[in-house]
Chains A and B, each alone.
Chain A
């Protein structure tokens, strides 16, 4: 695809004006405005050629933004059997944590009814982190509670899994707990945590890769 781009580029820069004049040598003097307009249209055409992709080079299903930009890790049975959580780590070190699809909460009849961030010593949804240095971010351990996920019959504590500063919790879950059902791995994320490099290395050792997690849970 890049070869195609190079060819078009040459045309765009070097021949835009001359080509145009050749085509209109007689009309040129009488209608100078038209040639300017046509010139612009020609450039637009050339630009368009650059924009349209070669469909044969595109995958049927492309990797998602998460797959592409994050490394996926899993914590099976974290602190309690059935408490499967994921940790998606971005190249910049930030970790998005949430419920893995195999979490026990998804088995409950009636599904997830509520998400409550008021656990532990404070309401996690109330904190305000400001500035580049992330002032006021609370420092949590990996077993610190983030929120409580409630179903008809039960409730489950979701924990950080990663030691670090809590930057954000997904407040939308309060009003829309069903997001956990529709997309626990995207819009239904629980929180964003920023670990220190050293802390990450420590916890990484205890997490599973996607492949290993699949094997463990016998997923296809």
Chain B
């Protein structure tokens, strides 16, 4: 349903009445619009203190700001059928103000509520109705290919606008302090520029997008900035995440350095000057605003998290993408297998893989699997629970059977804490294929099984010493069990459960005696490890 109203310049008080004969423009109006929107507007305008309206208009305040500052309820003047020019004319007509010269950007809202701005191509845009802005947004959402069932609208404006406003308000309070309307209209906080704009755009947007505004992971953001915004630390620290509209490469952070500190404090007039008439005159920081704000339309979905446990059946697959000198190590990575199968279902820009610990490329991850978290950035659609289960089956059904997934499900942002929680305390269970330099005796099997919560001291293994601190770490071997292998006297399976962070390979072969004790030292012979498998990563919350 589109906006059908386009009113011409109203030059005559009679035509104000004509507006009330307009057909009901929208039925998606708010609950309080029982009467014709134009009549409400009419009444509201007539109830304003005319001299104040004139004063404000004469210092370049736009019509919406005038209505806003004087306490008019926003649904009255935010109607999507009311164009810029129409509102302006209504005010001027009723109050007898004649504006001179050309269109000026509002000295308070810098054009934001006049629906004027410079777009990302530096073109000056002046929209007539909030509907038009809603249209631009809807186009963007469509272009980005988002499938949504709700949206959250955010507006950010330069701090400068708020400063303008408070400066003006304090001036008004001084100038009109004895007047009766002041109490009622001014002393209660006026609706903010942000809220007015949001209110004006939300309803048409709901219609165009065919969904409701709510707390949603899909965000629509209107980011206004202005060159003249002085270098307030608040402004600069707002740190907008900028994304160019329609960029395929995913998210880019561009710091807007054109929002610069041109601190020109001396030009910041106060409202203390006494005018000729003896009353303090109204002033705003910038008399003639020559440039409107710069506006960037953004729409994106916040991160979606999927959690689960993965299994690694191959001894030639690394956990994460591992590339040295442009050559891949191993034939694939868990991260890529899982990520590349899930990302397309969400039509996201990118994914990030996080796991609770990791295993070497030549170590299999079996049993219960290792907890992982997959972060999907800027998903264009959110598949159903069933689809997620299908994705799990798909990955488990892949022909090369390198990786498996369990318990795949969507999780909120608490998934992050769940995974990190107690990671260092978690116990891990392993199965190692061990060879010793002499035949295995029953005594050995027995003595190994008796060792419970044995403390070992591990110097940083030589294989990681080049990138880790040389430290001596105390670790605990909770229990061990030897399983004999039929037909072999020197090979056996060693099942063991250890504290997180224990280097198992070094515990078996001793690492030049730098891990004490080791299987070799306990059994009094040379021990070598041929294969290692992780059989359990104990974590309750996953």
Contact = CB atoms under 8 A, between A and B. Distances in A.
A17 interface: no
Given A47-B366, A186-B512, A69 B404 contact: no
Interface string B451-492: 000000001001111111110000000000000011110010
B366 A187 contact: no
A9 B404 contact: yes
A155 B510 CA distance: 29
B470 A9 contact: no
A131 B535 CA distance: 32
B535 A47 contact: yes
Given A52-B485, A167-B465, A187-B510, A9 B535 contact: no
Given A47-B367, A129-B470, A187-B512, A62 B533 contact: no
B84 to A, nearest CB: 62
Interface string B395-413: 0110001001000000000
B313 A92 contact: no
A141 B469 CA distance: 23
Given A53-B433, A94-B462, A130 B469 contact: yes
Given A53-B433, A55-B488, A194 B366 contact: no
B404 A13 contact: yes
B533 A51 contact: yes
Nearest to A128: B470
A53 B485 contact: yes
Nearest to B396: A13
Contacts of A170: 512-513
Interface in B7-22: none
A134 interface: yes
A146 to B, nearest CB: 15
Contacts of A174: none
A65 B509 CA distance: 7
Nearest to B495: A51
A96 B530 contact: no
Nearest to A91: B463
Contact of B366 (A50, A131, A132, A186): A50
A64 interface: yes
Contacts of A58: 488, 491, 530
A49 B498 CA distance: 22
Nearest to A53: B433
A187 B527 CA distance: 13
B513 A179 contact: yes
Contact of B401 (A9, A47, A94, A130): A9
A51 B535 contact: yes
Contacts of A90: 462-463, 466
A6 interface: yes
B431 interface: yes
A166 B513 CA distance: 18
B462 A9 contact: no
Interface in A74-103: 90, 92-94, 96
B514 to A, nearest CB: 8
The secondary structure that dominates the A interface is mixed
Contacts of A129: 470
Interface residues of A, number: 40
A57 to B, nearest CB: 10
B156 interface: no
A9 B313 contact: yes
Contacts of A53: 433, 485, 491, 530-531
A5 interface: yes
Interface string A120-151: 00000000011110100000000000000000
Given A47-B535, A55-B491, A186 B513 contact: yes
A50 B528 CA distance: 20
A37 interface: no
Nearest to B468: A132
Contact of A186 (B314, B433, B510): B510
Given A50-B366, A58-B491, A69 B485 contact: no
Nearest to B432: A51
B87 to A, nearest CB: 65
A112 interface: no
Nearest to A58: B491
Contacts of A130: 469-470
Given A9-B404, A90-B463, A92-B466, A187 B396 contact: no
A92 B467 CA distance: 9
A172 interface: yes
A55 B487 contact: yes
A51 B511 CA distance: 24
B39 interface: no
B493 interface: yes
B222 interface: no
A213 to B, nearest CB: 20
B526 interface: yes
Most A CB atoms within 10 A — which of B433, B512, B513? B512
B528 A62 contact: yes
Contact of B512 (A50, A62, A92, A96): A96
A192 interface: yes
A174 to B, nearest CB: 13
A179 B466 CA distance: 25
B529 interface: yes
A189 interface: yes
B493 A52 contact: yes
A198 to B, nearest CB: 16
A64 B436 CA distance: 10
Contacts of B513: 170, 172, 179, 186-187, 189
B470 A134 contact: yes
Most A CB atoms within 10 A — which of B314, B366, B510? B366
Interface string B327-348: 0000000000000000000000
Nearest to B466: A92
A134 B404 CA distance: 39
Nearest 5 A-B pairs (CB), nearest first?
A: A187-B513, A65-B509, A92-B466, A51-B431, A13-B396
26 contacts: A5-B313, A9-B313, A9-B404, A14-B397, A47-B367, A50-B533, A51-B493, A51-B533, A53-B433, A53-B491, A53-B530, A55-B485, A55-B488, A58-B491, A61-B435, A64-B528, A65-B505, A65-B511, A90-B466, A92-B465, A94-B462, A130-B470, A132-B469, A168-B470, A187-B510, A194-B466
Interface of B: 313-314, 364, 366-367, 396-397, 401, 404, 431, 433, 435, 459, 462-470, 485-488, 491, 493, 505, 509-513, 526, 528-531, 533, 535
Given A65-B528, A179-B513, 18 more contacts: A14-B396, A14-B397, A53-B531, A55-B487, A55-B488, A55-B491, A58-B530, A61-B435, A64-B528, A65-B505, A65-B509, A69-B463, A90-B463, A130-B470, A132-B467, A168-B470, A170-B513, A186-B512
